[in-house]
């Protein structure tokens, strides 16, 4: 850890995840060591950490199911097909607004003030040096393969266990791991290695997935820029893992068995789940949170989910034609209409995380409308320029993206229409 502020730090708040047991944790500076054994610990340093000075945290945490914590479906450790979003369980530093009590009565009872609000979209722009170089070594049972985050750089057997070392440079603090008795299928496409890790009985969609990955790579590389890794891994994880059908991490995409690998894609001719998921997830490696890392404020999800939905739609159009894509858009219109009465309405450019009917569904609708207003090529020119101008350490906002759309807009009248699309509720 580095003190990136311009002031000495003499107090540090460290938070461990409540579901994990701290086996050991020691915070070390150049001159002192502090032992940590509480979930939330405030450390006071005798000798403050000076600007630019480093410290380190050496910790060991463990996790197992128990009657008290139950089975955390976001974090399935099972015999075959485990998946952990491990970075979510790493310690965090400083005040955690996410942990605030939401219940107004409880807040009053504890004499707490107003809950922290999400940062306003118009707040000053942010540059933050918080990307990491990930060097991750995972060991698993001898008959299993561990899929990590980043490119595989080393593999060996030690003490009868399989070891895998993954590396990724300049990525947001997000990493996950899966482990299973995997079958693998590997294809090299235009210099990128595509690996599919799947259950031996779920091979039916593997070729379709590879074809989709190729089409997505082609579209994204051509329109948005270079693919940032050497490999793309698609790994099947257990259907115990709930809450998502697929999720993208730098160079690795994890997909659940029932939603994808073992899904019957011929059952519904009007829907191609592989295309929706593969295209969507793979495109996240250009968008947030991989290629860019949006600032945590109003509108942030427009730079992650809305852009992935746009890519998904354009790929759908490319593969199945415009008419079929418009049928998908109709479905998203229905999802949006069903949900909009139930929660607070927001314009897309200020959408917040919980309103997925806006960021995904309305986002897809608006981006397709935009592609009709100014043309798919111009939208892609704007997106490429957006990526170029908002690289790390910049934390872009939805206003940065709107600026790029205005730049490619042919005239003032069209730009006013763009404004209405993104800014009206
Ligand atoms: Zn997504």
Residue 302: is its pLDDT beyond 90? yes
Domain range for 15 is 1-71+90-99
> How far apart are the CA of 214 and the centre of ligand 1, in A?
19
Residue 415: is its pLDDT beyond 80? yes
CATH of the domain at 152: 3.30.2010.30
- Which pLDDT band holds residue 242 (cuts at 50, 70, 90)? low
Residue 286 lies in a domain: no
Q: What is the pLDDT of residues 320-360, one digit of tens each?
A: 899 999 999 999 999 999 998 888 889 999 999 999 999 99
CATH of the domain at 352: 1.10.390.10
- Which pLDDT band holds residue 187 (cuts at 50, 70, 90)? very high
* 142 and 200 housed in the same domain: yes
- The helix (run of H) or strand (run of E) holding residue 211 is helix 206-223
Residue 76: is its pLDDT beyond 80? no
> How far apart are the CA of 313 and the centre of ligand 1, in A?
13
> How far apart are the CA of 248 and the centre of ligand 1, in A?
7
- Which pLDDT band holds residue 201 (cuts at 50, 70, 90)? confident
Q: What is the pLDDT of residue 342?
A: 85
> How far apart are the CA of 154 and the centre of ligand 1, in A?
30
**CA dist., res. 321 & res. 260, Å (int):** 22
> How far apart are the CA of 95 and the centre of ligand 1, in A?
27
CA distances from 88 to 187, 195, 268, 336, 354 (A): 31, 25, 36, 30, 18
- Which pLDDT band holds residue 128 (cuts at 50, 70, 90)? very high
Q: Which of 227, 247, 280 is the last residue of a domain?
A: 280
> How far apart are the CA of 356 and the centre of ligand 1, in A?
10
> How far apart are the CA of 13 and the centre of ligand 1, in A?
32
> How far apart are the CA of 304 and the centre of ligand 1, in A?
7
Residue 110 lies in a domain: no
Q: What is the pLDDT of residue 376?
A: 98
Mean pLDDT in the chain? 91
Q: What is the pLDDT of residue 194?
A: 96
> How far apart are the CA of 178 and the centre of ligand 1, in A?
19
Q: What is the pLDDT of residue 264?
A: 62
> How far apart are the CA of 384 and the centre of ligand 1, in A?
19
Residue 133 lies in a domain: yes
Residue 260: is its pLDDT beyond 70? no
Q: What is the pLDDT of residue 241?
A: 66
- The helix (run of H) or strand (run of E) holding residue 81 is none
């Amino acid at each position: 850890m580095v003190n990136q502020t311009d002031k000495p730090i003499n107090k540090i708040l460290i938070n461990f995840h409540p579901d994990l047991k701290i086996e050991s944790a020691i915070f070390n500076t150049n001159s002192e060591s502090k032992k940590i054994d509480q979930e939330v610990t405030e450390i006071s340093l005798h000798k403050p950490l000076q600007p630019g000075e480093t410290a380190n945290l050496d910790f060991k945490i463990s996790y197992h199911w128990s009657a008290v914590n139950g089975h955390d479906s976001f974090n399935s450790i099972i015999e075959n097909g485990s998946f952990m979003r491990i970075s979510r369980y790493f310690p965090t530093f400083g005040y955690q607004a996410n942990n605030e009590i939401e219940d107004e009565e409880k807040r009053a009872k504890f004499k707490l003030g107003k809950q922290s609000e999400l940062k306003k979209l118009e707040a000053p722009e942010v540059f933050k040096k918080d990307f990491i170089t990930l060097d991750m070594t995972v060991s698993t049972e001898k008959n299993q393969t561990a899929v990590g985050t980043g490119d595989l750089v080393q593999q060996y057997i030690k003490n009868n266990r399989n070891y895998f070392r993954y590396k990724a440079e300049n990525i947001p603090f997000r990493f996950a791991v899966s482990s299973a008795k995997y079958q693998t299928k590997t294809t090299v496409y235009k210099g990128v290695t595509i690996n599919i890790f799947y259950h031996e009985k779920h091979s039916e969609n593997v070729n379709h997935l590879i074809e989709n990955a190729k089409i997505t790579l082609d579209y994204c590389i051509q329109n948005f820029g270079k693919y940032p890794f050497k490999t793309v891994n698609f790994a099947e994880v257990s259907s115990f893992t709930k809450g998502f059908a697929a999720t993208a991490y730098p160079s690795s995409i994890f997909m659940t068995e029932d939603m994808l690998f073992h899904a019957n894609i011929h059952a519904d001719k009007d829907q191609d789940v592989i295309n929706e998921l593969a295209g969507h997830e793979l495109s996240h490696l250009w968008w947030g949170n991989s290629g860019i890392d949006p600032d945590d404020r109003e509108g942030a999800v427009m730079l992650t989910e809305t852009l992935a939905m746009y890519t998904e739609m354009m790929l759908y159009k490319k593969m199945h034609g415009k008419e079929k894509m418009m049928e998908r858009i109709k479905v998203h219109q229905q999802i949006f209409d069903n949900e909009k009465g139930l929660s607070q309405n927001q314009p897309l450019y200020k959408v917040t995380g919980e309103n997925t009917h806006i960021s995904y569904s309305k986002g897809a609708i608006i981006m397709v409308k935009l592609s009709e207003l100014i043309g798919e090529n111009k939208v892609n020119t704007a997106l490429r320029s957006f990526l170029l101008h908002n690289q790390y350490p910049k934390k872009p906002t939805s206003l940065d993206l709107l600026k790029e759309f205005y730049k490619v807009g042919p005239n003032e009248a069209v730009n006013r229409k763009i404004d209405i699309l993104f800014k009206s509720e």
